[in-house]
Amino acid sequence: MKDLEPQAANIGKFDNKFTTADGSVRASVALNDPQTLWFNTGTLCNITCAHCYIDSSPTNDALVYLTTAEVETYLDQIAERGWPVREIGFTGGEPFMNPDMIDMARLALARGFDVLVLTNAMRPMMRTGMRAGLQELQARFGDRLTLRISLDHADQELHDEERGPGSFAQTLKGMDWLRDAGIRMAVAGRSLWDKTDSETRADFAALFAQRGYAIDADDPAQCVIFPEMDLSAEVPEITTACWDILDKSPSEVMCASSRMVVKRKGANRPTVLACTLLAYEPEFELGETLAEAEVDVHLNHPHCAKFCVLGGASCSA
Ligand code: SF4
Ligand code: SF4
């Protein structure tokens, strides 16, 4: 997997969990307010995007399907540990490839959590059984269920350049269905192209108005524009001094408020990772239980610097 290869621009850095290349103390982040528990439902996806951060595809099953019973054990642990979680997130791969997707969402909603499902809204979501399940969840739980649709850009050509010909039309078909079913939607776009944030949002606003989607393109929670992860770029290591220099608090970083559960192919049980961004990095695997996942996370990866501390991205809505 791509995350495991050291990048030439960063040779000598990110070698030691506790200290940086110049011997400074590496920054770490405590789990001080766990608000979101993510479940990776499996890495299989119906498409192969050019820049998928987790290398999903129709053949990548490095992370296998989670089951409802496995999700239930973690929802029990949230209660046992007294974590103040308000939201359960499901990501993949394409979550609607997982046959348990509706059951897992129903379980989390019935326990009182808000549920966020990240999807491309294509054929897996549009299967008859999934649509029936989504309608049932909407009728029972209303706006506590949100589907966040990966729509890279409001321009069909740019979206299809990333996801393949015809994918924009398929995703809009899925979004039209969600609109008509009254299911709450958000959108996740990307900043791959030479456009400013406000230009990208203006393009989305025009599309949402034209299609009648109740999504506010100017609200970063409803329309997330992700920064890109350039794996070849040179990035600085983050030391404990950086927080003051950047006027940033460790509590603003995603691993202060969330964890992700995955199940690796061949494993007997799921395991808990520091965040959604480093699914294949052994150092960011914290243990099988939420209790084990309460440890501090040392920011020993280029993504920590580029994507989180300097780029300010969060996967949660
Ligand atoms: S739809 Fe999402 S999970 Fe699937 S390949 Fe594209 S970016 Fe990856
Ligand atoms: S990539 Fe970001 S969220 Fe993940 S461990 Fe690093 S700093 Fe934390």
Contacts of 153 by beta carbon, 8 Å cutoff, 6+ apart: 159, 162, 189, 190, 192, 193, 200, 203
Q: Quick one: DSSP state of residue 54?
A: T
Short-list 298, 305, 286, CA closest to 25? 298
Distance between CA atoms of 72 and 25, rounded to whole angstroms? 38
The tokens 């949660």 sit on which residue? 316
Short-list 76, 242, 50, 70, CA closest to 153? 50
Q: Which of 7-16, 31-40, 231-240 has the highest mean pLDDT?
A: 31-40
Sign of the dihedral defined by the CA atoms of residues 116, 120, 125, 126, in that order = positive
Helix or strand (DSSP H, E) at 28? strand 28-29
* Ligand 2 and 254: CB distance under 6 A: yes
* Ligand 2 and 279: CB distance under 6 A: no
Ligand that comes closest to the CA of residue 314: 2
* Ligand 2 and 293: CB distance under 6 A: no
* Ligand 1 and 95: CB distance under 6 A: no
Q: For residue 231, is pLDDT > 80?
A: no
* Ligand 1 and 40: CB distance under 6 A: no
Q: What is the pLDDT of residues 83-121, one digit of tens each?
A: 999 999 999 999 999 999 999 999 999 999 999 999 999
Atom of ligand 1 nearest to the CA of 162: 6
Q: What is the pLDDT of residues 239-297, one digit of tens each?
A: 999 999 988 999 999 999 999 999 999 999 999 999 999 999 999 999 999 999 999 99
Distance between CA atoms of 43 and 58, rounded to whole angstroms? 9
Q: At what angle do helices 101-110 and 68-81 cross, to 10 degrees?
A: 20
Ligand that comes closest to the CA of residue 59: 1
Q: Is 185 exposed, middle or buried (0-12, 13-18, 19+ CB in 10 A)?
A: buried
pLDDT of residue 101: 98
pTM assigned to the model: 0.94
Q: Quick one: DSSP state of residue 64?
A: P
Specify the residue with its C-alpha closest to ligand 1, atom 6.
49
Helix count (H) and strand count (E) of the chain? 9, 11
